[in-house]
Amino acid sequence: MNSSAQSPTDPDAQPLAAATPAVISVSPTSGSTAGGTPVTVTGTAFTGATAVRFGATPAPSFTVSSDTQLTATTPPGTGTGTVQVTVTTPIGISNQFVTYTYVTTPAPVLSSVSPTSGPAAGGTTVTLTGTGFTGATAVQFGTTSASFIVNSATQITATAPAGSGTVQVTVTGPGGTSNGQPFTYTTAPVPALTSLTPTSGPTAGGTTVTLTGTGFTGATAVRFGTTSASFTVNSATQITATAPAGSGTVQVTVTGPGGTSNGQPFTYTTAPVPALTSLTPTSGPTTGGTTVTLTGTGLATVGAVRFGATPAASFTVVSDTHITAVAPAGTGTVQVTVTTPGGTSNGISYTYSAAPTLSGVTPNQGPTSGGNTVTLTGTNLTGTTAVTFGATPATSFTVLSPTQITAVVPAGSAGPVTITVTAPGGTSALPSAYFYVSPPVLTGVAPPSGPLSGGNTVTLTGVHLIEATAVRFGTTAASGFTVVSDTQITAVVPVGAAGLADVTVNTAGGTSNPVSYTYLPAPVVTTLIPSQGPVSGGITFTLTGTNLAQTTTVLVGGTPAGFTVVSDSHIVVDALPGAPGTVNVTVTTPGGTSAPKTYTRVGSPGI
C-alpha cells in the first residue's frame, strides 16, 4: 500500500508529523576525532527523533530536550574533516547543510577548580587547572556560561555566574568539551575582614599576620593582592596567614564558601627584619606572668611580641636592643618572636614548665648548726633555682631528677620550718616539714665509775635528751639505754679499759658534750694484819693491796665494818665482835669485790 494513499478509515493508520525536521545550528561546531563530545543541536520538528547522524555515523546517544533542541554525543570520526549533522524522525531526515568538524586537538581535561564553592549571587573568582585549555571557547557552570581568561594551556580564571546547588564546571575548546568538576553554590555569609596584625612586613614575605573578622569558617583562600598565602583558620573570627613576597601596599582578602571578603591594606616595607639573640629567663610557669627580657637588634619599632601564636600579656620596648615582655599562659616549648614593620624575627625557645610540688623530706630533722644532707621528693623539680629552709637558702643543693633533690641544711633556730622549692614552673612549699633540734647537753653521770666488765646501770642527766639515738662510753656504744625524759637517760655500761671514758649522747640535734666515767679494776687485798683478835672486837686491823682508794664497803664475816681508806694500798678496819672462829673479810669498790682474806676471833684463855 502507498503510504501517501492511506484511507482515513484504516484502523492501523498513524497521524503524520506536521513537517520534516530541520537543523539550524550545532554547538560546539568541532570536537575531537575520538568522539564523545556533547553537542547541542538546535532546529525544528525534533519530537520523535529516531536518529542523529554525524556524516553517515549515528550518534551513540542523544536526548531530545524539546521540539527545537536535542543533545547528542559525537561518535568517533574517521579522520579530520567536516561532516553534515542530520536528525531523523518518522517524517523524514533533515537536509540543511549544518556541519560539525572533527579535529585532532585533544579535548580539554579539567583536574580541579579552586575554590570549589561560592555564593549563589555568583562573582567568585575560580581558578581552573588542567590541560588543553589553549583556544578555549567556553567555560560553563552547569549550563550557564561564565566569563573567563585563559592564563595558559593549564590554567583558566573564570568568574562564577549566579546559580544554585552543585553544578559541573566544564571547559570547551577546539578538541571538545572537558570532563566536569563540581562547584557548589552556597548560602554561607561572605567573609568580612576588620583588621590585620601587623599591617606591614618585609618584601621577602614570611611575616605571620593575624586576620580578624567574621565568616572565616571553611575559608579556601587568603590573598595578599593577587598572591595566595598559606594560612590556618583558627576560628570563625580569626585566621593566621604567612605573608608571601610582595611590594607596595596590597589588599588582603579572604575567600570562603560565601564569597570573597573586603580588603584590608598590608604594606611591604624595606625596613630591616628584627633579630633576637637571647631570652632571660628561658622558662616559666604554665600560668604565665613571668617577665622575660628579650635581647637582639632592630627592636625599637616592635609592634608585637608572641609566645608561639599567643601575644605577650604586655611588653615594653626598652631600647633598640632590649624588650621586656610578660609571658602569657601556655604549655610546652614555644618560639618567642617579635614583629616590626620590617618583618618577624627569628624565634627563641621558651619553655612552659609545670609547677613543682614537694611531697616529703628525709630525714625531717637535724641540728641547729645545719650541715646535714636531706633528700627532698616531689614532682617537676627539674631546673630548680632555689631551696630554702624557712627564710634561709640551703647551703647547697643538687637536682638528681624531676622527682628528687639533695640539699645541705643551713643553720637555724630550734623548731619547725617550711621548706620551699623554686623552679621555672613556680614555687612549692612544705609547711613545718623540717625540725631544727637543739644539741643535747650532759651535766652528769651517776655513779661516775664502775667495773671494767661493765653491765652496771648509770643515770645520765642533762637537757635535750628526748631524741637520743645513741649513748657511747668512749667509742663503745652502751649495751642498752632508756630515755626516761628530756633530762634523764639510764644506760647499761659496756665493757671498758681501766681509766677515764667520755660519755656522750647522740640525737638529731648532734652529739653532746662529754662527761667523765671511770672504769675501775676490782680491788685486791694481799695482807690482813693482825690476822686475829679477841671475840670482843675493839681493835683494828690493816688491809694491804691495790685499787682500794674507791672502797665503799668492807665486810667482816658478812657484816659491814667501819673503815678508813689510808691510801690506794691501805685500809684500816674496825674489828667487829663475834663468836670465836674464822671469818672472811672482803673489800668492795665500784670496780668490784676483792677475794676474801680470813680473820680469826680468839676467845679469852680459861682459868
Residue 12: pLDDT above 50?
no
What average pLDDT does the segment 89-115 reach?
A: 91
| Contact present, 83 and 75 (Cβ < 8 Å) | no
Residue 29, sorted as left (phi over 0), alpha (psi -120 to 50) or beta, turns out to be alpha
Q: Which amino acid is at 224?
A: F
b/e map 149-185, b = 16+ CB within 10 Å:
ebeeeeebebbbbebeeebebbbbbbbbbbebbebbb
pLDDT tens string 337-350? 998 888 889 999 99
- pLDDT band with cut points at 50, 70 and 90 for residue 539: very high
For the residues 123-127, what does the mean pLDDT come to?
Answer: 90
What per-residue confidence (pLDDT) applies to 5? 33
| Cβ-based neighbour number of residue 280 at 10 Å | 10
Q: Are 518 and 549 in contact (CB under 8 A)?
A: no
State the pLDDT at residue 37: 84
| pLDDT at position 322 | 96
Could you read off the pLDDT of 201-212 as tens digits, one per residue? 888 888 889 999
Mean pLDDT computed over 384-391: 95
Q: Taking phi first (over 0 means left), then psi (-120 to 50 degrees means alpha), and beta for anything else, what does residue 332 get? A: left
pLDDT above 70 for 6: no
On the question of pLDDT at 197 being above 60, the answer is yes
- Among 28-37, 134-143, 164-173, 506-515, the range scoring the smallest mean pLDDT is 28-37
Q: Specify the pLDDT at position 15.
A: 46
pLDDT at 176 over 90: no
pLDDT of residue 576: 94
Listed in sequence order, the residues at least 6 apart from 242 whose beta carbon sits closer than 8 Å to its beta carbon are 205, 206, 207, 208, 209, 229, 230, 231
* Whole-angstrom distance, CA of residue 437 vs CA of residue 328: 44
Which candidate, 261, 398, 267, 252, places its Cα nearest to that of 342? 267
| Size of the chain in residues | 607
pLDDT of residue 7: 36
With CA atoms as reference, report the closest residue to 302 among 251, 339, 337, 345. Answer: 339
Per-residue pLDDT at 112 exceeds 50: yes
Q: Indicate whether 361 pLDDT > 60.
A: yes
Selection from 485, 427, 481 nearest residue 461 by Cα: 485
What is the pLDDT at residue 344? Answer: 85
Q: Which of 419, 431, 322, 317 is nearest to 375 (CA)?
A: 419
Distance CA 292, CA 514 (A): 56
Q: What is the pLDDT of residue 117?
A: 84
Q: Give the mean model confidence (pLDDT) for residues 363-388.
A: 94
Query: Above pLDDT 70, what percent of the chain?
Result: 97
pLDDT at 249 over 60: yes
> Can you tell me the distance from the alpha carbon of 28 to that of 8, in angstroms, rounded to the nearest whole number?
44
- Given a cut of 50, is residue 254 above it in pLDDT? yes
Which tens digit of pLDDT belongs to each residue from 525-534?
Answer: 999 999 999 9
pTM for this prediction: 0.49
pLDDT score of 259: 81
Please tell me the predicted confidence (pLDDT) of residue 9.
Answer: 40
Question: Judging by DSSP bridges, how do beta strands 99-103 and 30-32 pair with one another?
Answer: parallel
Task: Please check the confidence at residue 3 and state whether its pLDDT lies above 70.
Answer: no
Mean pLDDT of the chain: 92
pLDDT value, residue 81: 87
pLDDT band at 316; cut points 50, 70, 90: very high
Comparison of pLDDT for 424 and 170, the residue scoring more: 170
What residues contact residue 256 under an 8 Å CB cut-off, 6+ apart? 115, 188, 190, 191, 215, 216, 217, 218, 219, 220
Residue 8 has pLDDT above 70, yes or no: no
Q: What band does 10 get if pLDDT is binned at 50, 70 and 90?
A: very low
| Residue 105 clears pLDDT 80, i.e. is over it | no
Q: What pLDDT, on the 0 to 100 scale, is given for residue 461?
A: 97
The residues that bridge with 417 in the sheet, in sequence order, are 434
